[in-house]
Amino acid sequence: MSAHDADVIVVGCGPVGVMASLRAAQRGLSVVAVDRDLEIYPLPRAIGMDDEIQRLFQNAGQSDQLSDCSTPMGGAEFLDADGNRVIGMELPPDHRGPSGHYPIVSFDQPSVERFLRAAAVETGVEMRLGAEVTAVTGDQPDTDATVTLRDGTTLRARWIIGADGASSTVRRLIGVVLDDQGFDEPWLVVDTTKLDAELDLGTLAQQHCNPERVVTVVPGHGTRRRWEFQLGEHETRDEMLHPDRIAELLAPWGSPAQLLVDRAAVYRFHATVAESFRRGSVFLVGDSAHQMPPFNGQGMCSGLRDAENLTWKLAQVAHGLAGEALLDTYDLERRPHAAGQVEHAADAGRLINAIAEGGAESYEAGYGGGRSFPHLEAGVVDGSHPRVGHPLPQPSVDGVLFDEHLGDGWAVVGATAPDLGPWADLGAKAVTADPALFPGMLDDGAVVVVRPDRYVSAVTTDLPATTRRILAHFQ
């Protein structure tokens, strides 16, 4: 009998913890997931999800469920004090991002968490609710990984994933501190349901960079819409949460008869990154590892990238296909990537303020401003091809998205069937593709090595040498 209760204990069943649980279980790990609350938090915080993360839902077998509770967003723009567009873009309904899905959808967070939990349990995750973690071990060398619950129960696992949110108990218990990236602003967030079908609020996310008050407006799923109002220096939480004050703030867009307020809350938007995403056998994912202002809709998306990155590595080690050294690449890959997104989100917030104050030197930090999205610069990646460290583009062939041909693990894609060599032992799949589907990637006999998380590990004409370098991480 195993000395462990599970391969992995996931602490926290928010969106990131539940996705980590589901993906770990889908990859053959035994998982116990615990959450101190009995119910899913009923009100949405995250509202927007990008193309790459919709692809993750596709690969987790959850695309249809996501479609049922999401709505494509028509684009985004920054407006100056006179309401003129400074930067922005429209996204036509048939537009697809590089990962093969609509570039951004709004979604209903509680609905997403509900179907993810159901899928996790169906896949074999043991979910314990009303179970608060009060102690953790495993962060020090040669110590067992355990969590202790408030009722005194101790659970033992090979690894622990701390997905317990911004005030993470796991992070505190393993002594990891947050590095502050220098952004800290109080904002009022108001979610509404549109009651008046005639009221036209458009389909764009908008940053109103008005010196009188900076406001973000985000179309939600269906008839929902979110407003975020920057608080002035002397405005208090209680004053801003008063229904009359909220009605006054919403008045430029609609009356109380037209807009039903579902929730209002004051948040401090800040920008932090944990000094390390790993201590021993304990890993941090999601808000426990990084927090960012919501202007780019990337907080949860970043956490879901953590979950996907970590779980395929844990699975390879658990199945004896790689040594523990592979797990060192989790922090190496994810921390700089997440830090890049935190910086980008904070810069978007600074840009909003700069436009409101009368101008900005550069619009690079804003939507369509041209700054490139972070990619993996180190870790299980090899070579200098510009696609390395980015998700493999996902074309659709005869209505079938390309990932459906890739299988669940590693894949080597070539214009003709690639000779897998050592990749065969890792269960990799050899896939042939028309080079026209992947411009600049499959020319002159080059093949693409694709990781289980769909990131490009290498584009190479010398697969044996590339393989030796990549597999050095697996020792």
Ligand X SMILES: Cc1cc2nc3c(=O)[nH]c(=O)nc-3n(C[C@H](O)[C@H](O)[C@H](O)COP(=O)(O)OP(=O)(O)OC[C@H]3O[C@@H](n4cnc5c(N)ncnc54)[C@H](O)[C@@H]3O)c2cc1C
Q: Name residues contacting ligand X, limited to 78-117 (CB under 6 A).
A: none
CA 167 – CA 154 distance, rounded (Å): 22
Is residue 191 part of the contact set for ligand X (CB under 6 A)? no
Q: Are 306 and 285 in contact (CB under 8 A)?
A: yes
CA 348 – CA 88 distance, rounded (Å): 13
Is residue 282 part of the contact set for ligand X (CB under 6 A)? no
Q: Torsions phi, psi of 90, nearest 5?
A: -95, 145
Helix (H) or strand (E) holding 33: strand 31-35
Residues in contact with 307: Cβ distance below 8 Å, sequence separation at least 6, in sequence order: 16, 17, 19, 20, 23, 163, 285, 286
x-marked contacts with ligand X along 129-158 as a string, rule CB under 6 A:
---xx-------------------------
x-marked contacts with ligand X along 31-70 as a string, rule CB under 6 A:
---xxxx-------xxxx----------------------
Task: Please report, as a single letter, which amino acid is at residue 286.
Answer: G
Of 8-16, 121-129, 395-403, 438-446: span binding ligand X (CB under 6 A): 8-16
Name residue, tokens 């074309």. Answer: 395
Residues in contact with 1: Cβ distance below 8 Å, sequence separation at least 6, in sequence order: none
Please report how close the Cβ of residue 206 comes to ligand X at its closest, in angstroms.
14
Cβ proximity to ligand X, 279 vs 473, nearer residue:
279
Q: Name residues contacting ligand X, limited to 394-433 (CB under 6 A).
A: none
Cβ proximity to ligand X, 48 vs 391, nearer residue:
48
CA dihedral 174, 178, 179, 184 (to 10 degrees): -170
Is residue 11 part of the contact set for ligand X (CB under 6 A)? yes
As a whole number of Å, the CA-based R_g of the chain is 23
The token duo for 425 is 């032992």
Question: Out of 77, 80, 164, 308, which residue is the one contacting ligand X (CB under 6 A)?
Answer: 164
In this structure, what DSSP letter does residue 73 have?
Answer: -
Question: Out of 220, 254, 303, 418, which residue is the one contacting ligand X (CB under 6 A)?
Answer: 303
Is residue 286 part of the contact set for ligand X (CB under 6 A)? yes
Is residue 340 part of the contact set for ligand X (CB under 6 A)? no
Of 7-15, 195-203, 275-283, 453-461: span binding ligand X (CB under 6 A): 7-15
The residue ranges that bind ligand X (CB under 6 A) are: 11-17, 34-37, 45-48, 132-133, 163-165, 169, 189, 267, 286-287, 294, 297-301, 303
